[in-house]
Chains A and B, each alone.
Chain A
Amino acid sequence: MSETPTTEAPAEQSGPALADLQDERLINQQSFSAVASQFVHRLRGGELGSLPVIIGLIIICTVFYAIEPRFLSSFNLVSIARFAAPTGIISLGIVLVLLLGEIDLSVGSLSGFASAVMAVVVVDNGQPVLVGMAAGIAVGATIGLFFGLLRTRIGVPSFVFSLAGLLAFQGALFYVLGDKGTITIPASSSLVQFAKFGYVPAGLSYLLVLLIAAAYLGAELLNRSRRAKAGLANSWLPLPLVKAGLLAGGLVFLTYYLNVDRGWPNVWALFTVLVVVTDLVLRKTRWGRHVFAVGGNEEAARRSGIKVDRTYVTVFVLCSSLAALGGLMAAGVLGSVSQNSGTTGLELTAIAAAVIGGASLFGGRGTAYAAMLGIIVLQSIDSGLNQINVDSSVRFMTTGAVLLLAVMIDSVSRKARTSSGRG
């Protein structure tokens, strides 16, 4: 099958042509060479996807491993995953906001505020952890609703109201904590047990990883059979098989490697579930389609009958809720809430992660996986520099340089897209 260099002619000869291949100029992906040339064509056209960040990650790993082999140890990778996850959850919300071409600068201090609310409810008032977490997330959702209404009803730019939020929620954090300064969450509480000491059991983690790969393959094959039934062309058959194989192999190896130490952290598993669900919702539902449409051309979206305001409000609610959840997880990982919670440039790390992962600052471009890839890059740099005992001043500068590089790649690929007519 892969020997067929071009499949243009056969479509004409062999009986009824597939609905989408009746014109010889149509792009098809039915052979290996077609898939490969399509891939090269996309890269030339500036559709880089996740390629730069993956290359970047490989470079980072190689460099740090060369200097300090402990960087790639199971222990360190588990730590990276555990500390990256809370910020990653916040960054996931940022990806949603960026897709609309908006920004939310308040996620950092909001996450601190929400965790302080949770800590006060749980520790000071003796309520169950779940009640405290619900209170924290409710605070986030309410603030998101308020933001959404500010944006849609009054028309305040998101940069401004979220900047105001950044200051206000920091004040709210101090106010809620009172003069105590720090609230320690008891190690016996289920949140700390989950986030700080919780790991996915080895057997379960293998099962889950294989289930993920099987689900991917199953969905692909189901889609292919449906397309074939509807008379539409499918891409080269081995492609989904190879992808599923690579996915399964990679995940099983990672799981094995992490299980040498403590295994997948619970918080990272939670983060992964959130990313996968968000990705599916963005790609497979009407709401997700509308988010991309509003981010791409708001006026067009409005004229085609999309409820633009509702899209804005739901996205801001989701972003703030995810920020609150991220704050709660950070509190769980650290085991305490203090006046520093979420205030040390956390919002900038979250935004930087989303952008490094490939979400465009200009709206309409990006995937949920941007949050995951971006936060892995940032946390790896942080951890690596920490391991080789570099001063924190250098760490900040390095992170800044990486962010600049990511935005430069984004801008250059934008130019390539424009010149090759891919907008």
Chain B
Amino acid sequence: MSSALAHETPVRDSVLSLTGVTKRFGAVQALTDVHLDVAPGEVVALVGDNGAGKSTLVKIICGVYQPDQGQISLDGAQVSVGGPRQAQHLGIATVFQDLALCDNLDVVANLFLGQEHHRSYLLNEIQMETEAWRLLRSLSAKIPSVRIPIAGLSGGQRQTVAIARSLVGKPKVVLLDEPTAALGVAQTAEVLNLVERLREQGLGVILVSHNMADVQAVADRICVLRLGRNAAEFRVEDATTEQLVAAITGASDNVVSARMSRKDGDGNV
């Protein structure tokens, strides 16, 4: 099944494509020749151990860092992402791990922060509120009121607001940095539903996560980074947790490879 799929779409038209991305900080080679592709309506999980270069790659995609070498293409056209604002304009939306919400402002204000609807100099609150409900409904999100301060919402609801905010600029790619890290079981499930809904809307989704269960639950492809290089890439149907762990840690003496080598040994005899 998985191989058939791969044959059908050998090179899917990717909405975001990174090739040969290299980044160096002083003596540290953070990323070496990294490539990453995301197709519309595809969830690509980016996994890796601490220090694997996930954060650096995320920051390059959302324009915080500039790559030393390599290309970023959006819809086939080569682009340079000069900063977070430009990334937004290009259609790359990022949901940061700390969500970057203002606790003292209400949901509507947070959703449209920095891109408020306005008529001449005045804020157009009604248009923003209507749009806020439309966005939240498109995510089937449950928020008690869009006019209460963010501080009054639960962790999952905040995450929902942050994800809904990423949709305000009509993006092509949504980058989610550890969206489930601080959430409980039910809330995690809700956020995973949101990720699936982003996929249904035809967006390319890059999901950075430590949690193998989450990754395997929603991702279509899993891209493993190790020590700043592409270590492995799996279709989610093909990947077992053991294989993923092996690719992430780079340890060859784990359970999976031990079993493999035992089998090989048996076959030779």
Contact = CB atoms under 8 A, between A and B. Distances in A.
A305 B88 contact: yes
Contacts of B102: 292-293, 296-297, 300-301, 364
A20 B103 CA distance: 21
B152 A293 contact: no
B152 A421 contact: yes
Contacts of A365: 104
A180 interface: no
B84 A305 contact: yes
Nearest to A25: B144
B150 interface: yes
Nearest to A362: B104
Contact of A230 (B98, B101, B130): B130
A300 B121 contact: no
A407 to B, nearest CB: 18
A19 B113 contact: no
Interface in A281-321: 284-286, 289-290, 292-293, 295-297, 299-301, 303-306
Interface string A257-278: 0000000000000000000000
A226 interface: yes
Contact of A286 (B123, B144, B148): B123
A399 B120 CA distance: 44
Contacts of A299: 98, 100
Interface string A207-236: 000000000000000010011001110000
Contacts of A300: 99-102, 113
B145 A297 contact: no
B103 A297 contact: yes
A26 interface: yes
Contacts of A296: 102-105
B149 A422 contact: yes
Interface in A321-359: none
A22 B146 CA distance: 13
Interface residues of B, number: 39
A305 B85 contact: yes
B126 interface: yes
**From A226, A230, A296, A423, residue with most partner B Cβ within 10 Å:** A296
A364 B118 CA distance: 22
B103 A25 contact: no
A417 interface: yes
Contacts of B109: 289, 292-293
Nearest to A47: B149
B2 to A, nearest CB: 38
A26 B133 CA distance: 12
A416 to B, nearest CB: 12
B116 interface: yes
A423 B98 CA distance: 16
Contacts of A223: 126
B127 interface: yes
A293 B105 CA distance: 7
B114 A305 contact: yes
**From A223, A231, A285, residue with most partner B Cβ within 10 Å:** A285
B142 A25 contact: yes
A303 B84 contact: yes
Nearest to A421: B152
**From A223, A289, A295, A417, residue with most partner B Cβ within 10 Å:** A289
A23 interface: yes
Interface in B144-197: 144-146, 148-154
Interface in A359-394: 364-365
Contacts of A423: 103-104, 149-152
A27 interface: yes
Contacts of B258: none
B144 A285 contact: no
**From A295, A301, A303, A417, residue with most partner B Cβ within 10 Å:** A303
A12 to B, nearest CB: 16
A229 to B, nearest CB: 8
A19 B151 contact: no
19 contacts: A20-B133, A25-B142, A25-B144, A27-B148, A223-B126, A226-B126, A232-B126, A232-B130, A284-B122, A285-B122, A289-B116, A295-B104, A301-B114, A304-B115, A305-B114, A421-B154, A422-B148, A423-B149, A423-B151
Given A27-B144, A300-B99, A364-B104, 20 more contacts: A19-B130, A230-B130, A231-B130, A232-B126, A285-B118, A285-B121, A285-B122, A289-B116, A290-B114, A292-B105, A293-B113, A300-B102, A303-B84, A303-B96, A303-B100, A305-B84, A364-B102, A421-B154, A422-B152, A423-B149
Closest 5 CB pairs of A and B: A423-B151, A304-B114, A296-B102, A300-B100, A305-B114
Interface of A: 19-20, 22-23, 25-27, 45, 223, 226-227, 230-232, 284-286, 289-290, 292-293, 295-297, 299-301, 303-306, 364-365, 417, 420-423
Interface of B: 84-85, 88, 96, 98-105, 109, 113-116, 118, 121-123, 126-127, 129-130, 133-134, 137, 142, 144-146, 148-154
